[in-house]
């Protein structure tokens, strides 16, 4: 059973391959990356794979692949088009199953960020390929990755109000990819995946303050003000609007998942928020 993982040079892809090597022989794993030289140290076969290429070129890289993990593109210009290229290539190459990293409640979520995922899920369904859909919640690192800047500025900012999130770490989601990729038992299933612990941004800020010993309030801002600040950091207006929309819609519960499906897949509790904060500060 050959398993290929796209975006293998990214943090999620690398981590997924590391977890997968514990479950299957490294000889059965293929790392797909735009620049194969960047994944040469992973200890698995590396092949060139660029989402923007046409399906006939991509299909060559998928020769012999039975299970394909499609990690969603980080290019927001034409994500659906890029994903279509990969799905068409998987069909042409005779891939048996595709695993896609989507977002919580993608089929009904009103969040802007869900639109591309919903369209991609529809393309996969229309392809006739056997599929496993991993609807990931928010990543804890989306906040912990910028704690230094928040502490430097003296506040954590956002527009989420008292929204409760159930995020998980990149490692949690990467291990889930490995679990479902290594077993055909997950074919045809869709999983809503969130962390075990629900918390607000005020509670996150309080934990950072406790561990760092520095005051860190959460300043909840009007959406337009938050957008302006994000743009002042150099984010494109469209991407800034997407992030603001995430906060606003989170207040309606779209990034909260109490199902426990993620920890069930992992066979362990998800990483606690306090542990993620500690790792980021350390």
Mean pLDDT by 10 residues, the chain (282 residues): 96 97 98 94 96 91 97 90 97 97 98 97 97 98 95 97 98 98 97 98 98 97 97 94 96 95 98 98 94
Could you give phi then psi for residue 4, rounded to 5 degrees? -110, 140
pLDDT of residue 1: 86
pTM flag (> 0.75) = yes
Quote the pLDDT of residue 250.
Answer: 96
pLDDT of residue 35: 94
CATH superfamily of 3-137+168-193+259-264: NAD(P)-binding Rossmann-like Domain (3.40.50.720)
The backbone torsions φ and ψ at residue 100, rounded to the nearest 5 degrees and listed phi first, read -120, 135
pLDDT of residue 80: 96
Question: Residue 171's pLDDT is what?
Answer: 98
Check residue 53 and give its pLDDT. Answer: 87
The per-residue pLDDT for 76 is: 79
């Amino acid at each position: 059973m050959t398993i290929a993982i796209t975006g293998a040079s990214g943090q999620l892809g690398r981590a997924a391959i590391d977890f997968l090597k514990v479950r299957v022989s490294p000889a059965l794993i293929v790392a797909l990356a735009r620049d194969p030289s960047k994944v040469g140290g992973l200890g698995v076969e590396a092949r060139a794979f660029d989402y923007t290429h046409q399906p006939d070129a991509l299909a060559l890289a998928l020769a012999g692949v039975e299970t394909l993990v499609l990690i969603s593109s980080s290019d927001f210009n034409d994500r659906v088009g890029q994903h279509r290229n990969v799905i068409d290539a998987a069909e042409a190459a005779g891939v048996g199953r595709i695993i896609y990293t989507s977002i919580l409640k993608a089929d009904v979520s009103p969040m802007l960020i869900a639109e591309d995922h919903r369209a991609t899920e529809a393309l996969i369904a229309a392809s006739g390929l056997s599929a496993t859909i991993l609807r990931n919640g928010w990543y804890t690192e989306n906040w912990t990755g910028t704690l230094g800047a928040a502490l430097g500025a003296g506040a954590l900012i956002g527009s989420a109000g008292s929204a409760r999130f159930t995020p998980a770490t990149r490692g949690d989601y990467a291990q889930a990819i490995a679990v479902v990729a290594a077993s055909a038992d997950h074919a045809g299933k869709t999983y809503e995946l969130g962390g075990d612990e629900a918390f607000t941004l005020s509670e996150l800020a309080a934990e950072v303050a406790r561990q760092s010993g520095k005051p860190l309030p959460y300043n909840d801002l009007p959406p337009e003000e938050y957008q302006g600040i994000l743009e002042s950091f150099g984010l494109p207006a469209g991407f800034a609007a997407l992030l603001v929309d995430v906060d606003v819609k989170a207040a309606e519960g779209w990034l909260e998942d109490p199902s426990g499906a993620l920890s069930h897949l992992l066979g362990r509790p998800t990483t606690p928020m306090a542990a993620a904060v500690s790792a980021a500060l350390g």
